[in-house]
Amino acid sequence: FIGWVWESCYVSAKSGKWVNRGFLHGPALPIYGSGAIVILVSTIGVRESIPLIFLFGMISSTILEFVTGYCMERMFGVRYWDYSKKPFNLMGHICLFSSIGWGIFSVLLVRIVHRPIESVVCMIPVTIADIIAVVLAIYMAADFAVSINEAMDLKATLEKFTKENEQLQMYARRMEITATFA
């Protein structure tokens, strides 16, 4: 949720209008939640070393971002982000600037954000935590199902437009040839 707020506000400020960033309808960007989990797990053994938190978090998040971007483009035929104009990018899915940002966010997450959240979460009784987890899981699963269905429809629509565009170009060439002979 925090990643969705941050990215939606950042993109909205740049574009001058509200932009709901993300694949889902609800206020969540799963790559940030997945990224937070990847960072927390990958830094378990180095939590006392800021340089190692930065390095491990940067590497693990960058791998996650590349794999996610590559797979989403293959599955849906759409790029949800594109770093191809940024220096030191790999296939437009990752770039050095973003990777450094992931390293900084990793340090902030591990050393500042996670500790108080973990304390609060640990105070929630197990039964209530289980109920909250089930409700959130059902909500996210439904949002995923709807969003994936819409993304597949978008892919089909884009393929249809591409095919129609190719046909229009063929007709235009035929008309040019006919006009030349006429």
pLDDT digits (tens, 9 = 90+) for 84-124: 999 999 999 999 999 999 999 999 999 999 999 999 999 99
Q: Is the pLDDT of residue 158 over 80?
A: no
Helix (H, G, I), strand (E, B) or coil at 43: coil
Q: So what's the pLDDT on residue 131?
A: 96
Q: What is the pLDDT of residues 119-130, one digit of tens each?
A: 999 999 999 999
d(CA 32, CA 4): 8
Q: So what's the pLDDT on residue 64?
A: 95
Q: Is the pLDDT of residue 153 over 80?
A: no
Q: Is the pLDDT of residue 155 over 70?
A: no
d(CA 51, CA 155): 42
Q: Is the pLDDT of residue 70 over 80?
A: yes
